[in-house]
Amino acid sequence: MKAVRCKDWGPIDSLLIEDLPDLVPAAGEVVVDVKAAGVNFPDVLTVQGKYQVRPELPFTPGNEFAGTVRALGEGVTGFTVGQQVIGFTRTGAFAEQAIAPVAALMPMPPGMNFDTAAAITLTYGTSHHAVVDRGALQAGETMLVLGAAGGVGLAAIEIGKALGARVIAAASSDDKLAICRAHGADVLINYETEDLREALKAATGGRGPDVIYDPVGGKYSEPAMRSIAWRGRHLVVGFAAGEIPKLPWNLMLLKGASVVGVFWGDFVRREPKANLAAMQQMLGWMAEGKLKPLVSARYALGETARALNDMAARKVTGKVVIVP
């Protein structure tokens, strides 16, 4: 089988395509023929050696996929060869075959296509864990989403609306904001052309957002935090801008506010039953039409480096997938 390989930390363009032996499942594992694999910002960081967790070199990047079951390891029950599944693994998705423990797989819902199935695990899982679990967003509250046109941002908008909240979307262009509007955002802020604090003051009557969903970091985190409502929750999801902000602690004191870390990957490892319940709730919302994943582009396996470079350059809206 063909697979993308990272042999050293560094430039994305150093990734290679290699022929590897077919995968063989150990006890409790399943091998899947990959039909689509989701691309995420952590993939960019992982290849560069900048992510929180460093895989052992060499490795195949990519951690969410959809496909058909190829082989079952000893003791695996509940799945059959040829069955369509959604899977999550720390590495290995950017390949013609992927392997995962049975606990990291779930059946694809009837009628769902592979592109959509590959686009929901990490982005929607991250955003649900952030908004519902860590942020405890309630109906009637207001949530600000920074970097709102990205995969996790659009997922956060939709989840916020499913919960009955008012959602303010902030992004860097009017075209991106139009996508946010199509996914349910109530208020739009272009933070490249508007003063973020003034726009939030106007949008909330001076009260500020109850929850800030922040996958961006950089120069937008502090003005957002300065605008937060009393007892607000600032969700630290990631640092797509490349800079980890240094917030003055007095801001939290003055607003009675919390800065809350969001690490979905470890949540899955530590609390698998809670993650499964979250995914089941979201699949229900999808069946009701409340969640509509946007897959904006498809790349061949040989175009994986271009997909990651586009992600790093913040050219991506919604999700993009690798199609082996």
**Cβ-proximal residues to 61 (8 Å cutoff; 6+ apart), any chain:** 4, 6, 15, 43, 46, 47, 91, 93, 94, 304
Closest by Cα among 214, 209, 211 to 244 = 214
Integer CA distances (angstroms), 285 to 89, 121, 157, 159, 290, in order: 24, 14, 13, 9, 5
Are both 25 and 86 inside the same structural domain?
Answer: yes
- Does one domain contain both 133 and 146? yes
- Looking at the structure, tell me whether residues 80 and 166 fall in a common domain: no
249-300 confidence digits (pLDDT tens): 999 999 999 999 999 988 988 998 899 899 999 989 998 999 999 899 999 9
Same domain, 114 and 134: no
pLDDT tens for 82-93 read: 999 999 998 999
The answer to whether residue 16 sits within a structural domain is yes
In this structure, the answer to whether residues 25 and 110 fall within a common structural domain is yes
Same domain, 251 and 181: yes
Note whether 185 and 209 are within 8 A (CB).
no
Q: Say whether pLDDT at 8 is over 90.
A: yes
Side chain identity, residue 312? A
In a domain, 163, yes or no: yes
Residues 44-59 have pLDDT tens digits of 999 999 888 899 999 9
In a domain, 282, yes or no: no
Domain assignment present for residue 275? The answer is no
| 217-249 per-position pLDDT tens digit | 999 999 999 999 999 999 999 998 888 999 999
Residue 175: which CATH number? 3.40.50.720
Do 227 and 150 sit in the same domain of this protein? yes
In a domain, 247, yes or no: yes
Q: Are residues 140 and 18 in the same domain?
A: no
Q: Is residue 43 in a domain?
A: yes
Other C-beta atoms within 10 Å of 68: how many?
Answer: 15
CB of 137 within 8 A of CB of 164?
no
* pTM (two decimals): 0.86
**216 and 182 co-located in one domain:** yes
Domain count, the chain: 2
Pair (143, 162) in one structural domain: yes
The domain of 257 spans 123-264
* Same domain flag for 180 and 201: yes
Asked whether residue 19 is domain-assigned, the answer is yes
Tell me if 142 is assigned to some domain.
yes
**Where a domain ends, among 225, 243, 264?**
264
Residue where a domain terminates, one of 221, 247, 264: 264
Question: Are the CB atoms for 218 and 236 separated by under 8 Å?
Answer: no
CATH of the domain at 77: 3.90.180.10
Determine contact, residues 296/123, Cβ cutoff 8 Å.
no
Phi-psi region of 10 (alpha: psi -120 to 50; beta: other; left: phi over 0): left
Question: 133 and 103 in one domain?
Answer: no
Q: How far apart are CA 212 and CA 252, in angstroms?
A: 13
The overall average pLDDT reported for the chain is: 95
Alpha-carbon span 168 to 146, nearest angstrom: 9
